[in-house]
């Protein structure tokens, strides 16, 4: 489509829907924030603690790693399946950590929940990094076998293969992301659990060294165990950049700055996701140029602003499509993952430029902090129900939300109501293909979202729209905290 015409049309619709948001009343960001964090409890693998609030879930995956003589219990199932893919799980952890670092003061009582969500992941990632010398475990469960089943995680009887990368089978992308997650989390726990923070950072350094020393894409090493599910489509340079950026923030060690310089970073982008970290790394590094006034990081500020100019609908350089209802639209499958991640960068960059009274231009368009937060708010409000369908895309939030999400545990009866095991294929006919709403509410889950026409069929079998994922939720936590904090002031 012609970018210019699309952008001008969008402006009309954006303003219409923005006004409609006021008519419908402001969303309750604090309620949405609490639910967005509660969602992670529904994704837990391993032995569930007594504090578990999503009570239809039970302990699962206790033999993970057993046949390889390692303990790989814990962590999160990535989406609606029963696989632990460390690449998106580590990104989820990095984003939860970044959200907590930037917006923890606005989270109120949810700060404890955010830390608990991070720690559930980092406890597992530490096991993956430390269990065997010269090996980083990067996943549990055969996705090709798992995807032929529709069964509760508690009933899992599929093969729980363990996957790893090593000097001979490198994975710089998954290692770089794991290093980023551990380094970012080390900052979250620095003041509240010094010992844990120290372990996280020491492990992050080791994993980063491995990522740099043995270069290669994990997709090449692991093939069908990770592709096409979580292939590293953008290569591994962005993860090296991202990992180095987080380790620099956690250590101030000049060696990470030298690594950043050696990587170069001229790849232009208009996305940010579990696969492509360029935009996130640039916004994070631009903070040094802006907040610390360090001119060595000016190129990252320029790149971060180039990214914003590709997103803003009224920018002459916009390469971003919007739906008529005003939603950022990147790709047909799980589009909201891009919306939440980009929205996080909008609020965070706005925060950085506001604190330094900085503005920038996209051609003749002057961009202020309000330009970025205004667009971010429209995206968050759309997800929470200010949209053509008046539908919230967060389960359990608002009056009208997805009832038939593509999620095994949510779509099948709980262990309490149906203690008998349901085998691999036993869940398809009675539950997967059922027109009935899911029996268990996965509170706070943000689904893949509407299509490019703002439509949503609420169909369990339509996974590209109806499946929730940890990385969709992790990215919206920060913006929700930001707007909850603003509304409280």
Q: Give me the catalytic one of 102, 173, 239, 406.
A: 406
Cis peptide before 108 (omega within 30 of 0): no
CA distance 97 to 344: 12
- Check: CB of residue 369 under 8 Å from CB of residue 350: yes
The verdict on whether 267 is a catalytic residue reads no
Is 113 an active-site residue?
no
Using an 8 Å Cβ cutoff, are 457 and 94 in contact?
Answer: no
Taking a C-beta distance cutoff of 8 angstroms, is the pair 45, 77 a contact?
Answer: yes
**Residue among 64, 81, 173, 238 flagged as catalytic:** 81
Q: Which of 298, 458, 459, 462 is catalytic?
A: 458
303 is catalytic: no
Please check whether residue 463 is in contact with residue 187, taking contact to mean a CB–CB distance below 8 angstroms: no
* Residue (of 340, 339, 331, 361) closest to 464 by Cα position: 331
- Known catalytic membership, residue 458: yes
Whether 352 contacts 291, CB under 8 Å:
yes
How far out from the chain centre does Cα 367 lie? 26
Residues forming beta bridges with residue 367, ordered by sequence position: 360
- Reading the block at residue 231, the tokens are 């292939």
Three-state secondary structure string covering the chain: CCHHHHHHHHHHHHHHHHHHHHHHCCCCHHHHHHHHHHHHHHCECECCCCCCCCCCCCCECCCCCHHHCCCCCCCECCCCCCCEEHHHHHHHHHHHHHHHHHHHHHCCCHHHHHHHHHHHHHHHHHHHHHCCCCCEEEEECCHHHHCCCCCCHHHCCCCCCEEEECCCCCCHHHHHHHHHHHHHHHHHCCCCCHHHHHHHHHHHHHHHHHHHHCCCCHHHHHHHHCCCCCCCCCCCHHHHHHHHHHHHHHHCCHHHHHHHHHHCCCCCCCCCCCCCCHHHHHHHHHHHHHCCCCHHHHHHHHHHHHHHHHHCCCCCCCCCEECCCCCEECCCCCCHHHHHHHHHHHHHHHHHHHHCCCCEEECCEEECHHHHHHHHHHHHHHHCCCCCCCCCCECCCCCCCCCCCCCHHHHCCCCCCCCCCCCCCCCHHHHHCCCCCCCCCCCCCECCCCCCCCCCCCCCCCHHHHCCCHHHHHHHHHHHHHHHHHHHC
- Of the candidates 78, 154, 275, 467, the residue annotated as catalytic is 467
Residues serving a catalytic function are: 81, 406, 458, 467
């Amino acid at each position: 489509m012609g970018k210019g015409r699309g952008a001008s049309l969008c402006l009309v619709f954006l303003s219409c829907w923005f006004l409609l948001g006021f008519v419908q009343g402001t969303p309750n960001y604090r309620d949405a924030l609490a639910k967005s964090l509660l969602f992670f409890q529904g994704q837990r693998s391993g032995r569930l603690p007594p504090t578990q609030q999503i009570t239809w879930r039970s302990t699962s995956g206790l033999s993970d790693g057993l046949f390889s003589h390692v303990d790989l219990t814990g962590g999160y199932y990535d989406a609606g399946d029963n696989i632990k893919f460390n690449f998106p799980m580590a990104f989820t952890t990095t984003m939860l950590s970044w959200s907590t670092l930037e917006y923890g003061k606005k989270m109120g009582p949810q700060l404890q929940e955010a830390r608990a969500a991070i720690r559930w992941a980092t406890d597992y990632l530490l096991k993956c990094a430390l269990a065997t010398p010269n090996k980083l475990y990067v996943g549990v469960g055969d996705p090709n076998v798992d995807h032929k089943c529709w069964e509760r995680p508690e009933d899992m009887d599929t093969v729980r293969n363990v996957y790893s990368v090593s000097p001979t089978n490198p994975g710089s992308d998954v290692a770089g992301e794991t290093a980023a997650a551990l380094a970012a989390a080390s900052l979250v726990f620095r003041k509240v659990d010094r010992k844990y923070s120290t372990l996280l950072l020491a492990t992050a350094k080791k994993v980063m060294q491995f990522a740099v020393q043995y270069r290669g894409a994990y997709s090449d090493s692991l093939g069908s165990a990770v592709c096409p599910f979580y292939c590293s489509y953008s290569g591994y340079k962005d993860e090296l950049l991202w990992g180095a950026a987080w380790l620099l923030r956690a250590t101030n060690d000049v060696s990470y700055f030298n690594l950043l310089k050696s990587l170069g970073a001229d790849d232009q982008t208009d996305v940010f996701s579990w696969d492509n970290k360029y935009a996130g790394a640039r916004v994070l590094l631009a903070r040094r140029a802006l907040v610390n006034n360090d001119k060595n990081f000016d190129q990252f500020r320029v790149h971060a602003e180039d990214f914003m100019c590709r997103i803003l609908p009224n920018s002459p350089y916009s390469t971003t499509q919007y739906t008529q209802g005003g939603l950022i639209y990147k790709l047909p499958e799980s589009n909201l993952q891009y919306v939440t991640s980009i929205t996080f960068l909008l609020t965070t960059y706005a925060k950085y430029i506001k604190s330094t009274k900085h503005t920038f231009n996209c051609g003749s368009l002057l961009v202020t902090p309000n330009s970025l937060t205004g667009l971010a708010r429209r995206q968050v409000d759309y997800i929470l129900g200010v949209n053509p369908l008046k539908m919230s895309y967060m389960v359990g939030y608002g009056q009208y939300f997805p009832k038939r999400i593509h999620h095994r545990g949510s779509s099948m009866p709980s262990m309490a109501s149906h203690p008998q095991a349901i085998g691999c294929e036993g869940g398809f006919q009675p539950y997967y293909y059922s027109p009935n709403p899911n029996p268990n509410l996965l509170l706070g889950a943000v689904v893949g979202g509407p299509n490019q026409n703002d439509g949503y069929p609420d169909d369990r079998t339509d996974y590209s729209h109806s499946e929730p994922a940890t990385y969709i939720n992790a990215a919206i936590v920060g913006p929700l905290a930001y707007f909850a904090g603003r509304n409280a002031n």
